[in-house]
Structure 1
Amino acid sequence: MPRLFRVSTLRGLWHGLRTEGPRSLLRLARNELAEPRLALTRKIRGAATAVGDRFRRVTTASEAWSDDCLQLVWDLSVAPVSYDLVAALAAAEIERRKRGLGGLVVIVVPGPHHGVKRETPAHEMAEDPEARLHRLHQELLPLLALMPSVRGHAVCADRQQAWSLIAGDDRRVYPDGYRIFLPLRPDPGAARDEARRAGTVWPLLSATGPARRAAEEYLTRVAGGRRAVVITLRASALSPRRNSRVDDWVAFADGLDPERYAPIFVHDAPPGAPLPDALAGREVCVAASLDVAFRLGLYERAWLTMGVLSEPLMLAWYDERVRYQVFVPIDEADDVTARALEDQGHRIGGDIEFARPWQQLVWKTDTLMAIRLAFSVMEARLTAIEAVERTAPAAAVQD
């Protein structure tokens, strides 16, 4: 029997009332309608869609735009300006293959709050709508080049323009059930769900050729023949308690054998923010913070990519070439509690369902001791993998 109520919904209601007051009720209702979890919500959406479709029209623009393509609609009235777009791209790519379509197109629909959706008061204080739109154009839209099947995109001026572009055939629209009059946010856990069902989802994201070459040239210059360990440092005004423990990461890097390893830092801070004093004299790759394509190229070419859970590190999750260790310090902040992560579909203590053997989540706070211990485990694992890779060609010749 479908559940009308979920414990996670009640927890979200209680947290919202404590932090925002009564206004959180309206936000929770909007979020539930945009990302339905309750059986009742799905019934309401179904009824509203049936009524709205009576007045739906198909335009010449919508027919010409997406011939043989699946349209991923990223509606900023319900979706955040965040790297959640990466998860949506991965889910849409999986759907594209299942539906037998030739490519993806992405349609960005503006939201009602200066082009985006209204966030919590704390979020609005840390990042206003103008800053979020800047990030959309400078950081998120370049992500589309990292999904090889993307054939084009449109950033709509208004919802009327979006209506003219979105296909009338539901088979060519993602997420399922999206309507311009009843927006829907793609499920961020869809790729994990598919991996549980089908066992694999690869390939997904991939660095571009120029980005790989640029990263290779950079690593040749700064690392030589040493193993590059790329450390991403989170330094965000949003949930600052989740930021990286910079001193611990620097101490870890300084403890690596300099003859074998070349630690490289990527400092993700607001534009114009100074580097922490602890990074003085260390290799800091500024280009990776400014160019998302180069960042993924660097992640792919590194011997290991490490860091605390952050939006840019989500790129590594969806690229099977990237060797990574991502620390998830649960219960360090309200939005990274064990219960919140379980509600999002994560398995506490486990890896992402489609992770490769060289990809790992570390469910610990990024203290120096935890970093060193986790690294020693991954070092042994990667050494074993490399040994197998070296002997595989010889074995193939003998066979």
Structure 2
Amino acid sequence: MPMFNRGYLANSSLQEKVAIIGCGESAKVFAEWSEVEHFDVFTTLGGGQFRDKDVLAVETLREPNDYLQIIIANQYVDEILEQWVNDNKSLQNVFWFDFMNLKLAQVDSLSYTQSAKDSSLHVIYDLHVLPATFDIAAFLVRAELRRIELGLDNINLIIIGGNFGGVSARACLNHGSEQGTWRIQNVLIPMSQMLKRCRGVSFIPNKKCLSDLTQGEATFPQDLSARPDFRFYALAPLQKRFESGADIQVLESPMQAKEYARQFLKSHGISKQFITISLREYTHQASRNSCIECYQYLAERVLNLGLGIVLIRDTNKALEQKLNWEGTVECPVASFNVAIRMALYESAFMNISVSSGPSFGLMLLSRHCDFLMTHLVDNSQVVSSEAFLKERQGISVGEQFPFCGRFQRVCWTEDAEEIANEFELMIKEKLSIN
């Protein structure tokens, strides 16, 4: 299929006319940018003129293949494409013109094909029984594996809330209703962006609303009457899928987040290789927090290797007075924005963090993040006890996650010097092969 460029359009013959849908500012910019000469113009109702040509009604555009390409050059692209699909018209040569960036996007890449419309897995995250935490990451990976098994195109995430200000009691557990609501908006929904095939998110108050959204189509979990348990959001079951040949490191930041991460790095003069240090500084289960002095010492060691350092503080501390460690830059936006945090992890030469929601939910389930994870065991807390790690996360003291890459490791020592030594060795080893 021929792709657009200005010269190609300008030289198209009379038999290769272009159809432009729209006659406003976007259409004007497209006509000037493309230098197209042979074209017809369409709007919803037709009428009037555009560049000395009569504007036709879009319903008269019955044979799209009569045109070299069809350009949607207006803001109503969603409505136009939905109607186009409903009319069973081909989308093979349809493009949308992004006049702000002077780019053409093929409609297929915008997921408006008939199959994309009808072939979706409805993923149900019920906050009555599932946590409002980064544990949703493993749940989403399981859903992605199910989508692949069924041969479906996309995922629609449906979050079921509750009666506590729209949040379930389960979501408020340990954090309160305000934090529960915050986590839905700033953890659960943004985590869906880490799956490229997730095309939409809905929030409903209870299961009674499900039928209107799913309409008998495929769901995950498949049996909505059953009560999901930890197997739906723990790592141990995912490891079994890995052992059966499944790729479980499927999470990745969206392109826009990568661009914002680049902007941050450039604006702070970080042009060389850098690491991230993510700090846990939370009042809940404080014994699992990062040792600030230990990580400051580690940062000094890293600076001696010539790498930059980006600090990502705990969300609850991100806007307080800066730590002002020498040679480091803090990135508060990454403390609040999951996608930008992930993009920084992916861009970094190496990452280091204690065991936490972001480290388990982002780094561990992405092949694009190299890291050293520390402080997994704290037997004073159930969720970090050795028994819990074995049962839920599928790992025992001294082991490594079998699905992780060469530079994705767990450090089991609690000694600051030994942690710094291991991290430095990882960095040097990676530097030696880059």
> Which residues of 2 match residues 275-354 of structure 1 at below 5 A?
275=321, 279=325, 282-313=328-359, 314-335=361-382, 336-348=384-396, 349-354=398-403
Asked if 1:88 is matched to 2:132, the reply is no
Asked if 1:105 is matched to 2:153, the reply is no
Q: What's the TM-score, normalizing by structure 1?
A: 0.72
Query: What is the letter of the counterpart of residue 277 of structure 2?
Result: I
Determine the C-alpha separation between the residues in 2 that align with 1:118 and 1:291.
25
1:360 corresponding residue in structure 2: 409
Conservation of the 8 A alpha-carbon contact between 2:352 and 2:371: yes
Displacement of 1:280 in angstroms is 7.8
1:239 corresponding residue in structure 2: 285
Instruction: For residue 369 of structure 2, give the secondary structure of its aligned residue in structure 1.
Output: coil
Moved more, 306-315 or 374-383: 374-383
> Which residues of 2 match residues 204-243 of structure 1 at below 5 A?
204-222=250-268, 224-243=270-289
Displacement of 1:70 in angstroms is 1.3
Query: Do the aligned partners of residues 328 and 94 (structure 1) sit closer, same or farther apart at CA in structure 2, a change above 3 Å counting?
Result: farther
Displacement of 1:373 in angstroms is 2.0
Query: What is the letter of the counterpart of residue 339 of structure 1?
Result: A
Rg comparison, structure with higher value: 2
Instruction: For residue 264 of structure 2, give the secondary structure of its aligned residue in structure 1.
Output: helix
Asked if 1:161 is matched to 2:231, the reply is no
Determine the C-alpha separation between the residues in 1 that align with 2:270 and 2:305.
10
Determine the C-alpha separation between the residues in 1 that align with 2:417 and 2:429.
19
Higher relative contact order (CA 8 A, sep 6+): 1
Query: What is the letter of the counterpart of residue 106 of structure 1?
Result: L
Query: What is the letter of the counterpart of residue 213 of structure 1?
Result: E
Higher normalized helix content (fraction of residues) = 1
Query: Do the aligned partners of residues 272 and 219 (structure 1) sit closer, same or farther apart at CA in structure 2, a change above 3 Å counting?
Result: closer
Query: What is the letter of the counterpart of residue 367 of structure 2?
Result: E
Asked if 1:178 is matched to 2:229, the reply is no
Conservation of the 8 A alpha-carbon contact between 1:109 and 1:155: yes
Query: What is the letter of the counterpart of residue 317 of structure 1?
Result: L
Query: What is the letter of the counterpart of residue 315 of structure 1?
Result: L
> Which residues of 2 match residues 25-44 of structure 1 at below 5 A?
none
Displacement of 1:131 in angstroms is 1.7
Displacement of 1:236 in angstroms is 1.4
Conservation of the 8 A alpha-carbon contact between 1:265 and 1:284: yes
Determine the C-alpha separation between the residues in 1 that align with 2:281 and 2:331.
15
Moved more, 142-151 or 281-290: 281-290
Displacement of 1:112 in angstroms is 4.6
Conservation of the 8 A alpha-carbon contact between 1:107 and 1:153: yes
Query: What is the letter of the counterpart of residue 196 of structure 1?
Result: E
Conservation of the 8 A alpha-carbon contact between 1:358 and 1:381: no
> Which residues of 2 match residues 53-202 of structure 1 at below 5 A?
67-119=118-170, 124=173, 127-169=175-217, 172-179=218-225, 182-185=226-229, 186-189=232-235, 190-198=237-245, 200-201=246-247
Query: Do the aligned partners of residues 223 and 193 (structure 1) sit closer, same or farther apart at CA in structure 2, a change above 3 Å counting?
Result: farther
Q: What's the TM-score, normalizing by structure 2?
A: 0.66
Percent sequence identity is: 20
Moved more, 97-106 or 155-164: 155-164
Query: What is the letter of the counterpart of residue 260 of structure 1?
Result: G
Conservation of the 8 A alpha-carbon contact between 2:352 and 2:373: yes
Could you report, residue by residue, the CA deviation over 1:264-317 in whole angstroms, capped at 9, with x for unpaired residues? 210014267624757588421111112111111111111101110111122111
Instruction: For residue 364 of structure 1, give the secondary structure of its aligned residue in structure 2.
Output: coil
Unmatched tracts of structure 1, length 5 or more: 1-63, 387-399
Unmatched tracts of structure 2, length 5 or more: 1-114
Query: Do the aligned partners of residues 332 and 278 (structure 1) sit closer, same or farther apart at CA in structure 2, a change above 3 Å counting?
Result: farther
Root-mean-square deviation (CA, aligned residues, Å) is: 2.6
Could you report, residue by residue, the CA deviation over 1:38-70 in whole angstroms, capped at 9, with x for unpaired residues? xxxxxxxxxxxxxxxxxxxxxxxxxx9983111
Instruction: For residue 363 of structure 1, give the secondary structure of its aligned residue in structure 2.
Output: coil
Determine the C-alpha separation between the residues in 1 that align with 2:429 and 2:184.
37
Determine the C-alpha separation between the residues in 2 that align with 1:363 and 1:278.
28
Higher normalized strand content (fraction of residues) = 2
Query: What is the letter of the counterpart of residue 339 of structure 2?
Result: A
Instruction: For residue 118 of structure 2, give the secondary structure of its aligned residue in structure 1.
Output: coil
Displacement of 1:164 in angstroms is 2.9
- Runs ≥4 residues deviating over 6 A: none
Instruction: For residue 294 of structure 2, give the secondary structure of its aligned residue in structure 1.
Output: helix
Instruction: For residue 312 of structure 1, give the secondary structure of its aligned residue in structure 2.
Output: helix
